[in-house]
Structure 1
Amino acid sequence: MTFDDRLTTLDALWSAWAECGRTTAEEQWKLPTRLGDWDLRSLYAHAASWPFTFPRLVDRVSEAEPTHATAAELLRDFNAPGGAAHRLRDWNAAGAREDAVTYSIAQLIDRFAGAGPDAIAAARRRGPVPVDYHGLAVLRLDEVVSIGILEATVHLLDVQRALDLPPHVPADGLAHTAALLAAMAPPVDFIEAATGRSAAQPFPVLT
């Protein structure tokens, strides 16, 4: 998938998130999710942090060489024991709960409907340059977009399950996310488990 294709996919996913927010009834925002103690509003606020912070990532062009060649490499490191995904879990959870009460639903929706498309347009102009990824790594912008696609896809499924809706996610988002998750798994374990040739369990690869 080219850089432009990835941005088009992310744009479609964020549009789906905006539409989901517009069609969710007031009483549904308090529904529980399958993510610990997050209710639907906290989950939505967490996902909305991506289009909110993406413009900053686009502007953080780095002269350094990427620390990781692909999104899969970076996510493997993040999700390894002691990695950033584990160290920052409580901080991320607290931030989502705080944003859920700080911002109105309309403001959260506008992150997907307004800030998101503007940032995607800026990314198209910037190109797949290396950027400082939240001070944790240096990653090409096309690979950053891959992480955004994964986040938007996985959490949109979380939202739809919480709302008791059938999964309805842009097909390119599903395909790209499935490929990225497969790339994170140890290849031999993944192939043999997927083909029923081994009892090895390579999943989950993402926490």
Structure 2
Amino acid sequence: MLTDLWHSWAERGAQLGPDDWTAPTRLPGWSVQALFAHVAPDPELFGQLRGALTEEPAAVTSGAEVLRIYNRPGGVAHVAAPAIEEQARQAAGALSPKELVDRFAVEGPEAFAAFADVPPTAVVAHPILGTVTFGALGEIAVMEATVHLLDLIAAVGGPPPPAAALEATRGLLAGVPDPVAFIESAAGRTDEQVLPVMR
């Protein structure tokens, strides 16, 4: 699913013109090129991920749990947001559109293919989460690529994301809030606000 999403990003990027790359997105201060730079898979990161595999038990086992931790008051989604935005801008300035497209089309998929032997239950040491399953990180990667693909579509148009990615992302986001609060809100039984679940 993740490589399908990456190929979708690559196909869209290959069709963009110069004005499209500099177009603003609905994320304040983010151009299309910054959005590509933020989502683009980094082959070096996969090398670090391989080195972080551990035999320790996992403290976090689902993408929904990752989002709860990241988005709690004072969590990384709030504290690190300015740094993440600046990093995206710097990467956008350092990588050409072709290099960004290649990250999605070639480099990322090739690096990810090396993890074919790693099961979703494998555990990774993580600087924020402590220990987390490889599958949970994969769920977050799919969600990020899907949500930001919707940001890209809102900016420059194009077909919707793959149906499987939309379904997985919807399921992940619905799993973040308390289940009773979410059901009652979705069913119109309460005015309690449970959305959004992430920054």
TM-score (norm 2): 0.93
Q: Does the 8 Å CA contact 1:157/1:167 hold for their aligned counterparts?
A: no
- Deviation of residue 70 (structure 1)? 1.2
Secondary structure of 2:54 counterpart? coil
* Residue equivalent to 2:163: 171
Q: Give the Cα–Cα distance (whole angstroms) in 2 for the partners of residues 157 and 203 of structure 1.
A: 18
| Whole-Å separation in 2 of the counterparts to 1:115 and 1:103 | 14
Change (3 A) 1:52 1:173: farther
**Corresponding residue for 1:65?**
57
Question: Which runs of structure 2 are paired with 1:1-207 in the superposition (5 Å)?
Answer: 9-49=1-41, 53-128=45-120, 129-133=122-126, 135-137=127-129, 138-163=131-156, 165=157, 168-207=160-199
Between the aligned partners of 2:165 and 2:177, the Cα distance in structure 1 is 19
Higher mean alpha-carbon deviation, 99-108 vs 124-133, is at 124-133
Larger % of helix: which? 1
| Structure 1: 4+ residue segments shifted above 2 A | 49-56
Given that 1:50 and 1:148 are in contact with CA atoms closer than 8 Å, whether structure 2 keeps it comes out as no
Which is worse superposed, 63-72 or 96-105? 63-72
Tell me if the contact between 1:52 and 1:115 (Cα under 8 Å) persists in the aligned partners: no
Q: How far apart are residue 126 of structure 1 and its match?
A: 2.1
Q: Normalization by structure 1: what TM-score?
A: 0.90
1:162 is paired with a residue whose SS is helix
- What do you get for the CA RMSD once the two structures are aligned? 1.5
Q: Which runs of 5+ in 1 are unaligned?
A: 1-8
Structure 2 residue identity aligned to 1:151: E
Unaligned runs of 5+ in 2: none
Aligned length: 197
> Structure 1 counterpart of 2:105, which letter?
A
User: For 1:24-70, what per-residue CA distance to the aligned partner results, in whole angstroms no more than 9, with x for missing partners?
Assistant: 11111111111111111111111114666344324420222212121
